Amino acid sequence: MGSIEEEQRPFIEEGLILQEAKLYAEDGSVDFNGNPPLKEKTGNWKACPFILGNECCERLAYYGIAGNLITYLTTKLHQGNVAAATNVTTWQGTCYLTPLIGAVLADAYWGRYWTIACFSGIYFIGMSALTLSASVPALKPAECIGDFCPSATPAQYAMFFSGLYLIALGTGGIKPCVSSFGADQFDDTDSRERVRKASFFNWFYFSINIGALVSSSLLVWIQENRGWGLGFGIPTVFMGLAIASFFFGTPLYRFQKPGGSPITRISQVVVASFRKSSVKVPEDPTLLYETQDKNSAIAGSRKIEHTDDCKYLDKAAVISEDESKSGDFSNTWRLCTVTQVEELKILIRMFPIWASGIIFSAVYAQMSTMFVQQGRAMNCKIGSFQLPPAALGTFDTASVIIWVPLYDRFIVPLARRFTGVDKGFTEIQRMGIGLFVSVLCMAAAAIVEIIRLHMARDLGLVESGDPVPISVLWQIPQYFILGAGEVFYFIGQLEFFYDQSPDAMRSLCSALALLTNALGNYLSSLILTLVTYFTTMDGQQGWISDNLNSGHLDYFFWLLAGLSLVNMAVYYFSAV
C-alpha cells in the first residue's frame, strides 16, 4: 500500500496544472512571440493606455480634418452649401465603408495588429498630402477677389481629394480593428476581466472624444485664424504620435490569430445549404456535423452551440449518405460545421439591430454639416471673440466626456438595482435609449431654427442673408443632447457587435457596425439631394438654399426627427 503522499500526488499535480493554466490567458490569444500570454505581463489595463493613446491621437487627427471640412470647401474651394455638405457626407461615408476592407484583411490574413500598423502608414501619407495642398502656394486654391471667387484648378482638386481619400482608406484598416484589438486584451474566460472589458468600451469612446475636443476647439480656431496649412499640419503630427503610441505597447499586447476569410465561410454555408436543399434536417442537432476536437475547425474561434432559428441553413451541416459512406468530410463547399453555420445565423440575427444605426448616423452627420451651416447664419461673436461655428462641436464632445464617467460610475450601479444586469442595461436597452435621444436632438435643432427664422423675418434679413443677431450658443442644447445619444447608442453598439460576434469575425462585425455610419452619411447626402430637388421645383428657393434666411432648414430637421421616431419604433419591435 502506497504512502499518503503517493495517493495525494495526482491531486497535487492536477492542482498545480490548474494553477499554472490560470497564469495564462485561455481565450486562444498569444503574445508577440506566438506563445500563450502570461496574464501578469500582457494584456488587461496595462496594455490599454497605448491603445487608448493611439485612438485619442488618431481621432484628434481625423476630427481635425472632418470637423471643419465644410468650412474649407465653402471658403477655400468656393463650393456651395449643398455641394460642400454632399462632399463632406460622401467622404465621411467612405471613411466608414473602407473598414470592410480592413476587417476582411484582419480576420482572414494579417490579424488586427498588422492591419492597424499597415493602414496607419497610408493614413499618414494622406494627412501629409492634405497638409501640402493647403500649404504649398501652387497647390492652394486662389483667394476671392471681391465677390469673384475663382474655381480651384484640376491639379489642386486632385491633390486635395487624393489626400482626403487616402485618409479614408487608411482609417479603413484602423476603425474596425482598434476597438476589437483593445477588447482582445481581456480574457473572455476570466469573469473579472470580462467586467473590465465592458468598462473598456466606455473609456475607449471617452478617449475618442478627448481627441475630438481638442480638434473641435483649438484646431478649428487655428484653421480659421492662423491658416489651414498649420491647421492641417498639427493633426498630421498627432497621427505620427498615434502610430508611435501603438508600436510602443507591442510587448504588452495579446494577439488573436486570424481565422481565414469570413466571407468565404459565409459563402460556403450558403452554397452547401443550397446544394442540400432537398435534404431533411435531423431532429437531433447532435447528428449535425461538427469537429470532435476541443477547439473549432476555424482558427482563433471557439465552438458555437447549435440554435433552432434559420433551420434551412442547418442543411449545410447535414452529413449525406455519400459523405457518411466515404468518410470524406473535407469539401467545405458541401459540408460545413455547426460552428460555421451558427456564424451566419448570428449575422442574420444582428441585422435588424444593425439597420437601426443608419438613421442614427444620418442624424449624427448633421453635426459636421447642417449644424455648422446653421451656426454660420447666427451671431458667432462672444464678446470680442469670433467663435468658429464648427467649434460648437466642442459641446458634443464635452457632453460625451461628462456622460461617460457619469454612466460608468453612477447610472450603471443605479440601473443595476432595477434591471439586475451587471452592466446596468443590456446593449439592446442602451442602444434603444440612444435612439430616443436622437429624436430629441433633431427637435431641439428645429426649434432653434424656427426662432432664428422668425428673427430674420422680423429684422428684414431674409433677402440680404446676413447672420441673424441670435447667439450661436443657442445651439448648445442640440450638441449636448447629441453627445448623450452617442454615449448610449454608439458605445452600446460597439459592445453589442463585439460581444455577440463570432470569435473569428470580430473585426468584420465591427466593420459592419461602422458601415451604418457610412450608410447614414450617404443617406444624409441622398436626403439633402432629394429635399433640394423637390423643394426647388418651379423656381422656388427650397428648404436649404445658400441663403438660409430665405429657406426652411427647420423643415429638414423635423424630417430627420420624424425618420428617427419611425426608426425607434421599428427597432423596438425588432428587439422585443
Average pLDDT over residues 223-237: 88
For the chain, give the longest Cα–Cα distance: 108
Half-sphere CA count of 547, side-chain side, radius 13 A: 12
Q: Each residue of 196-214: pLDDT tens digit? A: 777 788 888 888 888 878 8
Judge whether residue 167 has pLDDT over 90.
yes
pLDDT category at 320 given cuts 50, 70, 90 is confident
Out of 260, 295, 323, pick the residue that ends a domain: 260
Distance of CA 41 to CAs 48, 184, 252, Å?
13, 15, 7
Phi, psi of 466 (to 5 degrees): -65, 150
Do residue 238 and residue 287 come from a single domain?
no
Q: Each residue of 427-484: pLDDT tens digit? A: 899 999 999 999 999 999 999 999 999 998 888 888 887 888 988 889 999 999 999 9
Do residue 468 and residue 565 come from a single domain?
yes
Q: Which has more confidence, 256 or 144?
A: 256
CA neighbor of 366 nearest in space, from 500, 530, 178, 521: 521
Judge whether residue 165 has pLDDT over 90.
yes
pLDDT category at 300 given cuts 50, 70, 90 is low
User: What distance in Å separates the CA atoms of residue 363 and residue 357, rounded to the nearest whole number?
Assistant: 10
Judge whether residue 191 has pLDDT over 90.
no
Identify the weakest region by mean pLDDT among 22-36, 174-188, 248-262, 557-571: 22-36
Residue 16 lies in a domain: no
pLDDT category at 123 given cuts 50, 70, 90 is very high
**How many other C-beta atoms lie within 10 A of the C-beta of residue 284?**
7
Report which listed range, 207-211, 490-494, 558-562, is most confident: 558-562
Distance of CA 519 to CAs 99, 105, 152, 259, 293, Å?
13, 21, 29, 28, 41
pLDDT category at 42 given cuts 50, 70, 90 is confident
Centroid of chain to Cα 560: 21
pLDDT category at 299 given cuts 50, 70, 90 is low
Residue 250 lies in a domain: yes
Do residue 354 and residue 328 come from a single domain?
no
Q: What is the mean pLDDT of the chain?
A: 84
As beta bridge partners, residue 190 has none
Half-sphere CA count of 182, side-chain side, radius 13 A: 29
* Amino acid sitting at position 118: C
Q: What b/e sequence results for 30-53 when a residue is b if at least 16 CB atoms lie within 10 Å of its CB, and e otherwise? A: bbeeeebbebeebbbeebbebbbb
Torsion of CA 495, 496, 500, 503, to 10 degrees: -30
Do residue 440 and residue 567 come from a single domain?
yes
Residue 8 lies in a domain: no
Do residue 412 and residue 524 come from a single domain?
yes
Do residue 284 and residue 411 come from a single domain?
no
User: What distance in Å separates the CA atoms of residue 230 and residue 475, rounded to the nearest whole number?
Assistant: 28
Residue 252 lies in a domain: yes
Identify the burial level of 422 via C-beta atoms within 10 angstroms of its C-beta, where 0-12 means exposed, 13-18 middle and 19 or more buried: exposed
Identify the weakest region by mean pLDDT among 16-20, 125-129, 518-522: 16-20
**How many other C-beta atoms lie within 10 A of the C-beta of residue 97?**
19
Out of 260, 288, 312, pick the residue that ends a domain: 260
Q: What confidence score (pLDDT) does residue 162 get?
A: 92
Q: What confidence score (pLDDT) does residue 11 get?
A: 43
Judge whether residue 493 has pLDDT over 80.
yes
Q: What confidence score (pLDDT) does residue 163 get?
A: 92
CATH number at residue 479: 1.20.1250.20
Q: Each residue of 5-36: pLDDT tens digit? A: 454 454 444 444 444 446 887 777 888 888 88
User: What distance in Å separates the CA atoms of residue 167 and residue 65, rounded to the nearest whole number?
Assistant: 10
Q: What b/e sequence results for 345-371 when a residue is b if at least 16 CB atoms lie within 10 Å of its CB, and e otherwise? A: bbbeebeebbebbbbbbbbbbbbbbbb
Q: What confidence score (pLDDT) does residue 23 get?
A: 83
Judge whether residue 413 has pLDDT over 70.
yes
Q: What confidence score (pLDDT) does residue 223 get?
A: 86
* Amino acid sitting at position 307: T
Q: What confidence score (pLDDT) does residue 12 get?
A: 45
Residue 376 lies in a domain: yes
Residue 11 lies in a domain: no
Do residue 438 and residue 529 come from a single domain?
yes
Task: State which residues form the domain around 299.
Answer: 262-342
Report which listed range, 3-17, 485-499, 540-554, is most confident: 485-499
Q: What confidence score (pLDDT) does residue 441 get?
A: 95
Average pLDDT over residues 548-553: 85
**Residues 206 and 405 sit within 8 Å (Cβ to Cβ):** yes
User: What distance in Å separates the CA atoms of residue 90 and residue 86, rounded to the nearest whole number?
Assistant: 6
Q: What confidence score (pLDDT) does residue 1 get?
A: 45
Residue 30 lies in a domain: yes
Do residue 484 and residue 361 come from a single domain?
yes
Out of 324, 342, 360, pick the residue that ends a domain: 342
